[in-house]
Structure formats: structure tokens, C-alpha cells
């Protein structure tokens, strides 16, 4: 890859960069390209199955059934299930519908994952190269962003959150307008917001909060801008475009919110928050040291490896080194804007209160001081719209509340945000962009101070290759498993049972899990449970008797739902095996068979 000054046209440079990120993507995701039609990436069989089902369901409901795809009547039967209980991800379900119709949901899912890597890296390259006029700085920033553990972890099964490509597109569009004042760049900014917001509601919230902060920092001083009529028109067009993108996205949530409370308990939101140390650790997916980082340094029980993955956020030492250099040495308005973006995103990712690892920071204090502090926090929460008690965050000493808590109390929709650590998508972008600025500045000030032009060029090429190689090595992830897409043996058995009827699965941890959504495609029977971000909280509170199965109250409820078979998942340890003797002894149940890991009981009427 040659520098921009090496007599290459900008188009040639962009094509070469696109080719580089394509080859890097194929290598990182290998051997996914060989399994586009039969497997999807995933650390476990989990959320990947849910989003496959949603992509299939949109195609099936619109094209085959001619009905509303936002509602599934045979899930959570007899009430039916609104898909707004979780991410709607219309980027993949709606915009991807033609591809799903042509090639099926598995191939379309995999194409989206591959494109996420390529486009994210390439657009980040364009953004940083635009600022620095240095190809290697753009390449480094693109590599740091797509290989950041936040992105590669979510490549392993969480399709909406891995789709981060819209975020750099948004900022590229804004920068294009800032430089040229041409309205077509506003259209690109809106398109970037659409890609991000329609991928994940988290990214919609993130850009709505962080976008104005970045813009205000970038546009300083503001006084000349306030006199610029074209700037007012551009901001008006941008606001209108964002509104057009948001309305169809938020309407299903608003409608569902009128029926039930879309709220995540404050304690859960606190748990799914980042620690400052998460960003400083070595890359937690590396083949050499990744297992050690996840097992020893994240303060997560080794019994729950899937939870540890959520907190693998280390941005890498190369990224931190050049980001620090960029903070100290680079100049210009873009540096300040990136810093604002980075700092605010970092603080918000820490969630409602400060943690070190998974442990809240608690400052020892007299009981009277602690009681007064809790009283002040509760009084403050009563003044704000959500009126939520501070009690879930209380401790024997003083805990340290953070801005995310006050945003949650001030903006009621943010009560539905479960994982504040997902602001790491913006934190890692800020680090990557600042590292790109730092690398370009370092090249100029430290590498090129020589009078011979050819020597400067070759030195820059050599340094660029070495630093890029080190960054790729440091962030290189261990291979993400590829999960086969197939029905369970019990699903094939259910297909053979005549007629339509309802089924229930136990224990609830098995029933209220993402793969259950895809299994409905194979067995075609009604299920009386479901999965979604908000659904398990509501379901458990609405039907407490289900946690007491096989007590009569539970079985009576299942009969009222038309349940014919109860499936016991023996693989759900330790609850499944311990529940089996109770079900075997219940006279109202007839044990039919054990099919794989599932014991089938018929509910007698």
C-alpha cells in the first residue's frame, strides 16, 4: 500500500484499501466463506438463531402469509408475540428482505457479517485518510476498529451489534459536509444513521447522544455558523432525515410500551456495564493469551464463559499508544471533537455507577453519611421523570453514581437500555480515529525528518507495514466457531405428531432463550413462551406459577393455553435433571419418550 503522495490517484488508493480490508475479513472469518449456506458464526447456539429466525419470519410472513411481520401469533400462544420485545434490526430483516428471498436467511446473515467487516474498515480508512492525507494512518485506524474485541466478540453471534458500519459512515458524511458544505454529504450522514439505527436501537441512542456533542465540538466557534443560512438548511435537512429514520423504528416500541413496561431493572443495567480496566487489558480473544485474560482478569465466574465475552473490550496497546500520541501532539479541530466523542462514550459505557472489574467501587464512610447519601439520591430520583429508587445500587459504603444513571432518570426510554457497555462501539471508534491522527503526526514529526524525498517515502512505507502488522497480530482473534443450522431431534419428532397444538418447555431458562425462536420454524407447532430483551422479565412476573411446575396451578395454566406436550431440557443443568423426578411422579403427566436431550411429557386433560 503506497502513500498518497506516491503518484496514485485517490480512486486507486481507495480500491487498494477496499481490497485489503476484503482480504483481511476473509482471513479473520475463515472458513466462513466456505459455509455461507449451512453455518453461521457463534460462540454458542444463542442469539444467532434468534436473528436467523427474524430474517426468515419477515420473508415468510410477508411473502408466504401476507401478514404483519412485527407480530407472531403462534409464539407466546395464545396471546401472540410482538417482535418489539427485542431488537427489530430492520437493516437485516427489512433491507435484507430481497436477499433473504433470493438466497435464504443463512446466506444473507453471513453476507451481512462479511460486509460489516469490510465496510467498517474501509469507511474508517476513508475518514482518517481524509483528515491526515496519510494512507497508513487510515489503514491503521480501520484495522484497529474492525479487529477491536467489541466487534469480533459480537461477530460471534449478535448480528445487530456487530453491524457497526453505519457509525463511521455517519461521521464521514458529517465531515464531508463540514469540508464542502454540500448537501449530498448530509444525505450520506442520514444514510449512516439509518444503517446504525436500523441495525441496533443501541446505536440509534448512541448517535443521538454523541452526534450532537461531536458536531458542537467540531463546529467551534459557533458564532459564524449561526449566521450561515446554508448551515441552518443543512441542519434542518439532517434533523428531518433523522426523524424519518426514527419514526418507523420507534413506533413498534411505543405501541408495545402502551401494553407493558419496557424497563430493565436498574441492578441488571448496572451489571452489564463496563469497567475502566476492561479497556486496558490485553486483547481478550487472542489465540495466545485470550483465554487467560477472560478466565483471570474480568472478574466473571468461569462457569459463565458467555458472560465474560460481554466484557472483552481491550482496545490494544498499539491503539492506546498512538491515541495518546495523537492526544498530545496532533492539532486541529478534529482532535478536540474526537476527544469529546471518546470521553463521553467511555464514561457512558461505565453505566450507572463506577466498577472495577465486576465489583462496584465502595468508599467506606460512617453509617450516617451513607444513609444521608442514599436519601439525597432517592430525593433526586423523585424529582426526575422516572422516579426510580437508588436502592439497587446501595451498599454499605458510598458508591459512585455516573452520568448514565442520571440520563436514565432524565430520559424514560433509557430505562429500556440493558447493556451500557455497548457504548464501547463508540469508544473504540474514538480510540481508532485518535490513533490514526497520532500515527500520522508521528510519521511527520519522528519518521520523516530527512531532506531526501525517496528516503522519507521508503521509511514511511517500512514503518507503516511494521506497525500495521503489529496491530493485526495484537488484535488477531481466535477462530469463532461456526454453528450448524439444523432442527433438534425433538423438533423432527414434533413435526410427525398430527394436528396443531401448543408446547411448553422447561425449565424456564431453556424456554426463555433465543434458539427457541428458530426451532419453531422446524417443528411448526405453537409455543407458549418466547425470547426477547424485555420479555423474560415480564413473563416471569406475569406467570409466577410457571416457576413452580409441576404444581397444579402451573399445569392448569398450561392447559388453558392448549398445551399438549411439555419438553424437559436435560441439558439445562442443574435444573433440568433435578426437575425430572418431580415430572415423572406427577399423575397429570405421561412420560412419552426421551429424544436426545429432551424428555417429552404429555399433559393429560
In angstroms, the CA 350 to CA 344 distance is 10
Mean pLDDT of 244-264: 91
pLDDT of residue 4: 45
Mean pLDDT of 525-537: 94
In angstroms, the CA 440 to CA 438 distance is 5
Query: Over 80: is that where the pLDDT of 274 sits?
Result: yes
pLDDT of residue 3: 44
Query: Over 80: is that where the pLDDT of 303 sits?
Result: no
Q: Give the torsion sign (CA, 145, 148, 150, 153).
A: positive
Query: Over 90: is that where the pLDDT of 14 sits?
Result: yes
pLDDT of residue 448: 66
Comparing 497 with 306, which gets the higher pLDDT?
497
How would residue 259 be classed by pLDDT, with cut points 50, 70 and 90? confident
pLDDT of residue 264: 92
Mean pLDDT of 370-392: 93
How would residue 454 be classed by pLDDT, with cut points 50, 70 and 90? low
Query: Over 50: is that where the pLDDT of 306 sits?
Result: yes
Query: Over 90: is that where the pLDDT of 456 sits?
Result: no
pLDDT of residue 7: 56
Q: What is the pLDDT of residues 287-300, one digit of tens each?
A: 999 999 998 999 88
- DSSP letter string, 401-452: B-HHHHHHHHSGGGGG---GGGGHHHHHHHHHHHHHHHHHHHIIIII---S-
How would residue 225 be classed by pLDDT, with cut points 50, 70 and 90? confident
Query: Over 70: is that where the pLDDT of 542 sits?
Result: yes
| Prediction pTM value | 0.94
In angstroms, the CA 308 to CA 316 distance is 18
Mean pLDDT of 539-562: 95
pLDDT of residue 304: 76
Mean pLDDT of 443-457: 72
pLDDT of residue 1: 44
Query: Over 80: is that where the pLDDT of 132 sits?
Result: yes
Mean pLDDT of 17-29: 97
How would residue 10 be classed by pLDDT, with cut points 50, 70 and 90? confident
Percent above pLDDT 70 for the chain: 97
pLDDT of residue 447: 76
pLDDT of residue 460: 84
- DSSP letter string, 548-600: GTTSHHHHHHHHHTTEEEEEEETTSTTHHHHHHHHHHH-TTEEEEEEETTEEE
Cell readout for 132 is: 491526515
Query: Over 80: is that where the pLDDT of 5 sits?
Result: no
pLDDT of residue 450: 60
**Average pLDDT of the residues of the chain:** 93
- Between strands 398-399 and 362-363, the pairing is antiparallel
How would residue 2 be classed by pLDDT, with cut points 50, 70 and 90? very low
Amino acid at each position: 500500500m503506497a502513500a498518497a503522495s506516491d503518484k496514485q490517484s485517490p480512486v486507486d488508493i481507495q480500491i487498494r484499501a477496499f481490497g485489503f480490508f476484503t482480504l483481511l475479513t476473509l482471513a479473520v472469518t475463515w472458513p466462513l466463506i466456505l459455509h455461507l449456506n449451512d453455518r453461521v458464526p457463534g460462540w454458542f447456539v444463542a442469539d444467532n438463531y434468534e436473528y436467523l429466525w427474524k430474517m426468515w419470519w419477515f420473508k415468510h410472513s410477508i411473502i408466504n402469509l401476507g401478514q404483519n411481520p412485527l407480530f407472531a401469533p403462534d409464539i407466546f400462544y395464545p396471546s401472540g408475540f410482538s417482535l418489539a420485545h427485542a431488537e427489530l434490526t430492520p437493516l437485516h430483516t427489512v433491507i435484507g428482505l430481497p436477499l433473504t428471498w433470493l438466497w435464504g436467511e443463512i446466506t444473507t446473515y453471513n453476507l451481512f457479517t462479511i460486509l460489516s467487516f469490510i465496510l467498517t474498515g474501509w469507511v474508517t480508512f476513508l475518514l482518517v485518510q481524509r483528515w491526515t492525507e496519510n494512507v497508513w494512518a487510515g489503514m491503521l485506524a480501520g484495522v484497529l476498529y474492525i479487529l477491536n474485541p467489541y466487534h469480533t466478540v459480537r461477530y460471534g453471534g449478535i448480528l445487530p451489534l456487530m453491524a457497526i458500519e453505519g457509525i463511521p459512515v455517519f461521521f464521514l458524511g458529517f465531515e464531508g459536509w463540514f469540508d464542502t458544505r454540500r448537501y449530498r454529504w448530509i444525505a450520506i450522514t442520514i444514510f449512516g444513521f439509518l444503517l446504525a439505527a436500523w441495525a441496533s436501537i443501541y446505536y440509534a441512542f448512541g448517535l443521538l447522544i454523541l452526534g450532537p456533542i461531536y458536531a458542537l465540538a467540531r463546529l467551534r466557534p459557533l458564532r459564524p455558523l449561526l449566521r450561515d443560512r446554508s448551515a441552518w438548511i443543512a441542519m434542518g435537512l439532517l434533523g428531518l432525515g433523522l426523524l424519518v429514520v426514527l419514526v418507523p423504528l420507534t413506533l413498534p416500541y411505543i405501541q408495545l410500551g402502551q401494553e407493558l413496561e419496557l424497563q430493565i431493572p436498574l441492578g441488571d443495567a448496572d451489571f452489564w456495564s463496563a469497567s475502566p480496566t476492561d479497556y486496558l487489558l490485553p486483547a481478550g480473544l487472542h489465540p495466545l493469551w485470550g483465554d487467560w485474560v477472560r478466565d483471570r482478569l474480568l472478574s466473571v465466574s468461569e462457569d459463565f464463559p458467555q458472560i465474560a465475552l460481554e466484557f472483552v473490550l481491550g482496545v490494544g496497546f498499539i491503539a492506546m499508544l498512538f491515541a495518546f500520541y495523537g492526544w498530545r501532539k496532533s492539532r486541529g479541530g478534529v482532535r478536540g471533537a474526537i476527544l469529546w466523542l471518546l470521553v463521553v462514550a467511555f464514561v457512558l459505557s461505565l453505566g450507572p455507577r463506577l466498577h472495577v472489574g465486576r465489583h462496584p467501587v465502595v468508599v467506606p464512610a460512617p453509617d450516617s453519611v451513607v444513609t444521608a447519601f442514599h436519601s439525597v439520591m432517592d430525593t433526586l430520583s423523585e424529582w426526575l421523570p422516572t422516579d426510580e429508587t437508588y436502592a439497587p445500587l446501595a451498599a454499605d459504603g458510598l458508591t459512585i453514581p455516573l452520568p448514565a444513571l442520571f440520563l436514565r432518570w432524565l430520559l424514560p426510554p433509557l430505562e429500556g437500555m440493558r447493556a451500557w457497555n455497548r457504548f464501547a462501539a463508540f469508544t473504540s471508534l474514538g480510540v481508532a480515529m485518535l490513533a490514526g491522527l497520532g500515527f500520522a503526526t508521528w510519521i511527520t514529526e519522528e519518521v520523516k525528518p530527512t531532506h531526501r524525498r525517496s528516503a522519507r517515502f521508503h521509511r514511511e512505507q517500512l514503518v507503516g507495514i511494521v506497525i500495521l502488522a503489529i496491530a493485526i497480530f495484537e488484535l488477531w482473534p481466535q477462530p469463532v466457531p461456526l454453528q450448524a443450522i439444523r432442527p433438534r431431534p425433538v423438533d423432527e419428532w414434533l413435526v410427525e405428531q398430527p394436528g396443531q397444538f401448543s408446547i411448553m418447555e422447561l425449565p424456564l431458562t431453556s424456554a426463555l432463550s433465543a434458539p427457541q425462536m428458530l426451532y419453531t420454524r422446524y417443528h411448526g407447532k405453537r409455543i407458549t413462551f418466547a425470547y426477547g430483551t424485555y420479555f423474560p422479565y415480564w413473563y416471569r412476573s406475569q406467570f409466577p406459577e410457571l416457576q413452580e411446575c409441576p404444581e397444579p396451578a402451573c399445569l392448569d395454566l398450561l392447559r388453558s393455553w392448549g398445551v399438549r406436550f411439555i419438553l424437559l431440557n436435560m441439558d439445562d443443568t442443574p435444573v433440568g435433571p433435578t426437575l425430572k423426578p418431580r415430572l415423572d411422579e406427577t399423575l397429570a403427566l405421561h412420560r412419552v419418550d426421551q429424544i436426545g436431550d429432551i424428555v417429552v411429557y404429555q399433559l393429560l386433560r
